[in-house]
């Protein structure tokens, strides 16, 4: 399939605008001591209906028209940006952990999810949410979406923020990223999936059990294969593909793990994340290929991903400010309190517990996906859709600003976790 000249020109113009706005405003955000990812999202927001579409609706619609060839290609770039971001995040993690980290991860995952979910149920009982329900009038589905919106955490956004700050190799980063493995996204029951082949129905107890087992099994791959798996595969004398193009071999590996995750019913970006973990210890040509993927991804695909997040919003017509402020304050308080409590119960010092509480408040991509799916299914209306997306953006910006102030300096990052141990104090310093 080939694009017409008009479609090709429109696509190139859209890419030029998205790339330029993402990088320019990303740089502006850094100069203002904000996370680069926040600037990239703002760049996309300016290109969307909120600003560009409001000032020049005809021009904005002709370039970014939904359903056009351009929108389909940009959607593919959006997905690739998410996958490559998670691959780079997984590869940046060190394999070693200590008992304090594992205990903290478990308690934060349990308390930091259960309490906000329950708080979401309580909010619905105290606040009249009938004006937020979509035309499908599925009250149970709406309750689940609302509660999940308060509990969810964005690992893609936090990964990018920590990469920008240079603290992705610290124990703090490992706790944040590994904690998210306990959260399982709702899966679509696709015909092209293992669940469909073996006859598992998603709306049954057996279906829920299948997805739990599948998720656990998939996340044991790094333990079974080891972080040197890709390095061993790369050095195998029969690896013809690596000899032809180490870069192509690495990209195929990422796509293969992502496809496997989708096939068995695990969120796609977790597949890319596991691929990154398995590629964490590379040498020689394979390490050079990974470095090339990382540099190009952070220059092209990942800024496009975050810019498109902003591009999809229309704040002028769709944002209910009073409700959003109430929703934002409530969501931040319940998430922060629950994460802080879990971290303190695990023995973390107040300074590190506060940092985790703010970092895990960032809802970013997962909340946006949750909002989009629920809105498309008419479970929520446009008012609540915009509130969910803005919750994701604002909490991510808050987390980035806080981490920049408290963890952005090397000497501060060294003291970020100070986990209490019976006989010693464990401090994990950042690398590089």
Predicted confidence (pLDDT) per residue in 55-106, tens digit:
999 999 899 887 778 888 998 998 898 888 888 877 776 544 455 556 666 6
* Same domain, residue pair 362 and 334: yes
* Same domain, residue pair 70 and 219: no
Mean pLDDT across 111-135: 88
Q: What predicted TM-score, i.e. pTM, was given to this entire model?
A: 0.70
Of 29, 59, 84, which residue is a domain's last?
84
Q: What is the pLDDT of residue 234?
A: 66
Mean pLDDT across 279-283: 68
Residues 159, 366: contact at Cβ < 8 Å?
no
CA distance 266 to 257: 11
Residue 432, domain member (yes or no): no
Q: Domain tally for the chain?
A: 2
With a CB cutoff of 8 Å and minimum separation 6, the contacts of 333 are none
**How does DSSP assign 277-338, residue by residue?**
HHTSS--HHHHHHHHHHHHHIIIIIHHHHHHHHHHT--HHHH--HHHHHHHHHHHHHHHHHH
By residue range, what is the domain housing residue 364?
A: 85-426
Supply 265's token pair: 């019913």
Higher local confidence (pLDDT), 163 or 290: 290
Residue 132, domain member (yes or no): yes
Check pLDDT > 90 for residue 271. Answer: no
Residue 270, domain member (yes or no): yes
* Same domain, residue pair 24 and 97: no
CATH number (domain holding residue 299): 1.20.1530.20
Higher local confidence (pLDDT), 154 or 69: 69
* Same domain, residue pair 70 and 101: no
Confidence band (pLDDT; 50, 70, 90) for 422? very low
* Same domain, residue pair 194 and 59: no
CB atoms within 10 A of CB 314: 16
At which residue do the structure tokens 């595969």 appear? 233
Residue 221, domain member (yes or no): yes
Of 54, 84, 114, which residue is a domain's last?
84
Mean pLDDT across 393-401: 79
Check pLDDT > 70 for residue 276. Answer: yes
Confidence band (pLDDT; 50, 70, 90) for 357? confident
Residue 28, domain member (yes or no): yes
Of 65, 84, 103, which residue is a domain's last?
84
Dihedral sign of CA atoms 36, 42, 44, 47 in order: negative
CA distance 165 to 168: 8
Supply 331's token pair: 């969501």
* Same domain, residue pair 207 and 334: yes
* Same domain, residue pair 76 and 106: no
Check pLDDT > 70 for residue 290. Answer: yes
- The whole-chain average pLDDT of the chain stands at 76
* Same domain, residue pair 67 and 208: no
Residues 175, 421: contact at Cβ < 8 Å?
no
Supply 50's token pair: 């909120």
Q: What is the pLDDT of residue 203?
A: 60
Residue 431, domain member (yes or no): no
Supply 341's token pair: 């409590």
Q: What is the pLDDT of residue 199?
A: 72
pLDDT in tens, 215-249: 788 878 776 776 667 666 766 666 666 666 778 88
* Same domain, residue pair 113 and 80: no
Residue 176, domain member (yes or no): yes
* Same domain, residue pair 45 and 126: no
Q: What is the pLDDT of residue 218?
A: 82
Number of residues written out for the chain: 432
Q: What is the pLDDT of residue 250?
A: 82
Strand partners, 420: 425
Q: What is the pLDDT of residue 158?
A: 56
Check pLDDT > 50 for residue 416. Answer: no
Query: Directed axis angle between helix 155-165 and helix 171-179, to 10°?
Result: 170
Residues 353, 340: contact at Cβ < 8 Å?
yes
pLDDT in tens, 204-218: 667 667 777 887 888
Asked which of 9-18, 197-206, 215-224, 300-309 is least confident by mean pLDDT, the reply is 197-206
| CB neighbour burial string for 285-304, b if at least 16 within 10 angstroms, e if fewer | bbbebbeebbeebbebbbbb
CA distance 22 to 150: 28
At which residue do the structure tokens 């013809």 appear? 240
Residue 97, domain member (yes or no): yes
Check pLDDT > 90 for residue 122. Answer: yes
* Same domain, residue pair 126 and 41: no
* Same domain, residue pair 99 and 30: no
């Amino acid at each position: 399939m080939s694009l017409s000249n008009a479609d090709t020109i429109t696509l190139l113009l859209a890419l030029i605008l998205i790339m330029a706005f993402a990088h320019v405003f990303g740089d502006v955000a850094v100069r203002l001591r904000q996370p680069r990812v926040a600037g990239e999202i703002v760049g996309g927001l300016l290109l969307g209906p909120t600003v560009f579409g409001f000032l020049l609706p005809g021009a904005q619609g002709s370039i970014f028209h939904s359903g056009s060839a351009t929108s389909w290609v940009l959607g593919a770039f959006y997905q690739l940006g998410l996958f490559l971001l998670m691959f780079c995040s997984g590869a940046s993690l060190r394999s070693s952990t200590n008992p304090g980290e594992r205990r903290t991860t478990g308690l934060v995952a349990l308390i930091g999810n259960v309490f906000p979910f329950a708080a979401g149920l309580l909010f619905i009982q105290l606040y009249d949410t009938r004006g937020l329900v979509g035309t499908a009038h599925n009250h149970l589905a709406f309750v689940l979406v609302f509660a999940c919106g308060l509990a969810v955490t964005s690992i893609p956004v936090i990964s990018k923020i920590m990469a920008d700050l240079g603290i992705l190799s610290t124990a703090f980063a490992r706790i944040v990223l590994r904690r998210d493995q306990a959260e399982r996204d709702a899966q679509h029951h696709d015909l092209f999936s293992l669940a469909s082949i073996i006859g598992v129905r998603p709306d049954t107890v057996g279906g829920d059990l299948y997805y739990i087992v599948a998720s656990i099994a998939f996340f044991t791959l790094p333990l079974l294969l080891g972080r040197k798996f890709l390095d061993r595969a790369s050095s195998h004398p029969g690896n013809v593909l690596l000899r032809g193009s180490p870069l192509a071999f690495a990209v195929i590996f990422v796509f293969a793990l992502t496809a496997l995750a989708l096939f068995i019913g695990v969120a796609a970006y977790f597949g890319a994340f596991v691929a990154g973990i398995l590629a964490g210890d590379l040498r020689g040509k394979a390490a050079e290929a990974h470095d090339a993927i990382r540099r190009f991804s952070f220059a092209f695909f990942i800024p496009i991903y975050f810019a498109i997040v902003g591009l999809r919003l229309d704040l002028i017509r769709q944002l209910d400010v009073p409700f959003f402020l109430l929703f934002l304050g409530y969501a931040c308080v319940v998430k922060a309190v629950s994460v802080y409590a879990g971290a303190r119960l695990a023995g973390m010092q107040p300074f590190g517990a506060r940092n985790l509480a703010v970092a895990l408040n960032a809802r970013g991509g997962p909340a946006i996906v949750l909002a989009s799916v629920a809105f498309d299914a008419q479970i929520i209306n446009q008012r609540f859709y915009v509130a969910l997306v803005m919750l994701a953006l604002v909490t991510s910006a808050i987390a980035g600003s806080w981490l920049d102030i408290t963890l952005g300096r090397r000497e501060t990052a060294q003291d970020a976790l100070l986990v209490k141990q019976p006989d010693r104090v464990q401090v994990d310093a950042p690398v590089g």
